[in-house]
Chain A
Amino acid sequence: MFSFLIRRVLQAGLVLLIVGFVAFSMFNFVGDPIDNMLGTERTQADIDRLRAQLGLDQTFVVQYWKFLANAVDGNLGVSYRQGRPVAEIIAERAPATLELATVSALFAVGVGVLLGIYTAIRRDGLVSHIIMSVSLIGVSLPTFLIGILLIYLFSVELDWLPSFGRGEVTDLGGWTTGFLTSSGLKALILPGITLGLFQMTLIMRLVRSEMLEVLRQDYIRFARARGLSEKAINFRHALKNTLVPVITVTGLQLGSIIAFAIITESVFQWPGVGLLFINAVQFVDIPVMAAYLMLISVMFVTINLIVDILYVAIDPRLRS
């Protein structure tokens, strides 16, 4: 168990190192920031001075080493566009994205698992058939379209929920949260559903098919032959066995909820890191892009590490 954990952590470190290299390479290969930062009336002296200031005059290896050392220190460089430290900008924006991601992940997992179990147990019921058909629509509609439809229905026509922004936020020492005000909570609903809908249908379909598979197993038949109640069979015996494959996919999906929040954030003008990234791309703001890349990969790697640990927690066969 311990050696397994160490191995996984080492692997995670390697992945981060490679991503760091890719992120760093952007500095050298994605255009020249000097062009963007200085106007057309620059002199060679200006260029040299800025180059030295940004450390771009040093060799590749030295630059890479400095980049890594700084990144570990939490210093992700200075945004070319805003002239402020990238770490500060991201810290400002991250709460918005993380809160949105949390809400949609809870929505996706909670509703997805429940509907999955329901449609598996009542396999031939009318409600199950309706849920399954509707879920197909959820999978096939693109995120931005769902967002726009929801805005049209709930903001424009019914005027129940806000169509953009985070509403009122409370500042908790550097972390701005929308969970504490009613307008903040209201503002989370539509983007939360938009972002989580696809994952929700995916998880639901996965739980359903896994559950159907598990219900066919001998140990379920044996449990039934021992006279156990349907409740004990479905929730105690079947559900836990369903979880192992579900967790894998769910873990990967949660990562993509954060990574692909960009579209939802654009549709809802959500002031998160996704929107920040889009703006950075438009301006070739390489430090921001590199930091975003690193941030996402750290999240993916962490989530996968947690998934691996959860596996071991759920399945005793992996412990020995």
Chain B
Amino acid sequence: MTLLHIKDLTVEYPSRHGVFKAVSGVNLTVEPGEIHGLVGESGAGKSTIGAAIMGLLERPGHISGGTIAFKSKMINGLDATAMQGLRGKQISMIFQDPLTSLNPLLTVGEQLIETISLHLGLSRDAARQRATELLDRVGIPDPALRLRQYPHQFSGGMRQRVVIALALCSEPDVIFADEPTTALDVAVQAQILDLIKDLAQERQVGVILVTHDMGVIADTTDRVTVMYRGKVVESGTTAQVMSAPNHKYTKSLIAAVPRPKIKLKRFSQISYGGRDTRFAIEDIARNWNRVETLLDRPLLRVKHLEKKFPIAKSIFPGRSTYLTAVDGISFDIMPGEVFGVVGESGSGKSTIARLISGLYPLDKGEVEFAGQIVSDPRKSEAVAQFRRDIQMIFQDPYSSLNPRLRVLDIIAEPIRHHKILNGAALTKRVHELLEQVGLGAAAAAKFPHEFSGGQRQRISIARALATQPRFLICDEPTSALDVSIQAQILNILKDLQEHLGLTMLFISHDLPVVRQMCDRVAVMQKGRLLELQDTETLFANPQTDYTKELLTLMPHLEGLSDEGLEI
């Protein structure tokens, strides 16, 4: 029997500017034991479908058409009490960010027991027993002890397991999982997806898995529905949609997925929906008046970098405990090279970027740039020149731009700081930069919140190019972006490297992306550098066990359509 049957669902948000249709005419079914993938970029209406099923649409949003049937019974339009009986009890939800979906002030046990006693009507002791079993089921070791701990004592992956345990409390028939692994590391992501697959099979739970990651869809789901701007553009079995997509938008999505197995010249961009993908690299190259002269010696040398962070402070310095984030790391980067750093979260990747750029003071070690030592703040002249030559692009396009500044001032800031230009010449330069990154000069007068994630990352790039640097540090520049936008941004970075000879330090946890972007790759674990190889050698012939493990955890993406790839 079909568990969930959504028919012609339309969700509207009336506003002063007219009615916004977040979801229009969507059809979707979920069978027992089936994982149904829901894919599309942010704003496509995926999460809205979940909120509509759960009866949790934020006002003034409402279902304006269509039906949602659960086990052949209509559930849209039920009153609040009836809906609350259904919610959690028969349909559960898993949220994207495990760091924010648990109440930080209650122990994990209190939250589980509360939910279990509500749904199953068990006594406290029986509920505790059940909670222990559930934690064990989702793969948390030592469950009896863990029950007494608070969410902050769990790692991200463990918290997501707790969230899943909470969703399972009531033995639901349908689980709506909203980007359950987006915030997690590759290794943890694979474990959580396996857990969801097991649950679907073992208990015949129907799962709707929302994601923007085609890798997750390809490896996990049975059926897939592709959404674009609130509408379903394609739906079918996963194998069929992945290998032979019909709709142009699906084709563009699949073509934009970074391939783990082959290195492509460029990311393919089958553009869809008239989005602006222009990036005037020739223009930039023409106005670029810095030519990389140094060619045979390393541009950046890093020697024995070390950084510790205090984790527990004591009044006696000797008793404080420290976390060694970066532990004696050395490497050289040649001019024009793209140097990748990979590793899971907490491995010290971002700390290296911050140490090199001087955002964190070094504990030990040395940074040398173009033959000058730049890690010594007393050599202020060398440091000032270095700061101009090195720029950063950050991961989160939302928090890395000051929301109170206009785009003009954001991009002009480094130029002003280094006293390169001022007055009308400065404004002209900013307008040029904005034209070149494809945003147009008019963007200068706007504020960051008026732009999408991809557009903001273009602003970050314009800001980084403002001082005409020789070296770019890209710290997970695309991990917060949709796959099609990611392809655009990565192509821009490739252009910068090829046309301007920019040297890059490229930090990522996404191995397929690293394979496409980098010349050499350093693998990090717990602050140490495990392995440093040419990219192709590393992927073909990994030396350490850790690297091998990381490679097996990559999405396999077998049978993905090759249409539109530039090999």
Contact = CB atoms under 8 A, between A and B. Distances in A.
Our verdict on whether A and B bind, yes or no, reads yes
Interface of A: 3, 6-7, 217-219, 221-229, 232, 236-237, 240-241, 314-317, 320
Contacts of A317: 104, 150, 152
A219 B96 CA distance: 11
B111 to A, nearest CB: 8
Interface of B: 54, 56, 84-89, 92-93, 95, 97, 100-107, 114-115, 118-119, 150, 152-153, 163, 166-167, 169-170, 312-315
Contacts of B86: 227
A237 B106 contact: yes
B101 A218 contact: yes
A217 B114 contact: no
Contact of B103 (A7, A223, A224, A314): A223
Contacts of A221: 56, 95, 101
A227 to B, nearest CB: 3
B315 A225 contact: no
Nearest to B166: A226
Contact of A219 (B89, B103, B107, B153): B103
Contacts of A7: 315
A320 B153 contact: yes
B100 A218 contact: yes
A223 B166 CA distance: 9
A222 B150 contact: no
A7 B114 CA distance: 37
A223 B102 CA distance: 8
Given A219-B101, A240-B105, A241-B103, A320 B312 contact: yes
Contacts of A223: 103
B104 A228 contact: no
Contacts of B92: 225-226
Contacts of B89: 227
Given A3-B314, A227-B87, A320-B312, A241 B166 contact: no
Contact of B114 (A3, A232, A314): A232
A316 B105 contact: yes
Contacts of B104: 219, 241, 315-317
A228 B97 contact: no
Leading 3 A-B pairs by shortest Cβ distance: A227-B88, A226-B88, A218-B100
B56 A228 contact: no
21 contacts: A3-B313, A217-B100, A222-B163, A224-B87, A225-B88, A225-B92, A226-B87, A226-B88, A226-B115, A226-B166, A226-B169, A227-B118, A227-B119, A228-B88, A228-B114, A228-B115, A229-B84, A232-B114, A236-B106, A316-B152, A317-B104
Secondary structure type dominating chain A contacts = helix
A236 B106 CA distance: 9
A16 B451 CA distance: 52
B61 to A, nearest CB: 14
Nearest to A225: B93
A7 B84 CA distance: 48
Contacts of B169: 226
B211 to A, nearest CB: 17
A236 B113 CA distance: 13
Contacts of B167: 226
A3 B153 CA distance: 21
Contacts of B315: 3, 6-7
A228 B95 CA distance: 16
A222 B175 CA distance: 13
B54 A225 contact: yes
Nearest to B314: A3
Contacts of B106: 236-237, 240
Given A218-B97, A219-B103, A320-B153, A224 B170 contact: no
A270 to B, nearest CB: 40
Given A221-B101, A241-B103, 5 more contacts: A219-B101, A219-B102, A223-B103, A225-B95, A240-B105
A316 to B, nearest CB: 4
A227 B170 contact: yes
B351 to A, nearest CB: 22
A315 B105 contact: yes
Contacts of B150: 316-317
A103 B313 CA distance: 40
A304 B242 CA distance: 61
Contacts of B103: 219, 223, 237, 241
A315 B166 CA distance: 22
A217 B92 CA distance: 18
A223 B118 CA distance: 12
A226 B102 CA distance: 12
Contacts of B101: 218-219, 221-222
A225 B56 contact: yes
Nearest to B110: A236
Given A7-B315, A320-B312, A222 B170 contact: no
A222 B114 contact: no
Contacts of A228: 88, 114-115, 118
A219 B94 CA distance: 11
Contact of A241 (B88, B95, B105): B105
Contacts of A229: 84, 118
B85 A227 contact: yes
A226 B152 CA distance: 21
A229 B89 CA distance: 12
A308 to B, nearest CB: 15
A226 B87 CA distance: 6
From A3, A218, A229, residue with most partner B Cβ within 10 Å: A218
Contact of A222 (B105, B118, B166, B313): B166
B456 to A, nearest CB: 22
A221 B107 CA distance: 18
A134 B351 CA distance: 52
Nearest to A223: B103
Contact of B95 (A222, A240, A316): A222
A6 B163 CA distance: 37
Contacts of A217: 100
Contacts of A315: 104-105
Contact of A227 (B84, B97, B102, B314): B84
Contacts of A240: 105-106
Contacts of B313: 3
Contacts of A237: 103, 106
A226 B167 CA distance: 7
Contacts of A316: 104-105, 107, 150, 152
Contacts of B85: 227
A228 B170 CA distance: 12
A221 B54 CA distance: 11
A239 to B, nearest CB: 10
A7 B314 CA distance: 9
A317 B314 CA distance: 17
Given A224-B87, A225-B87, A227-B87, A314 B105 contact: yes
A229 B117 CA distance: 12
A217 B102 CA distance: 10
A229 B54 CA distance: 14
Nearest to B176: A225
Nearest to A244: B105
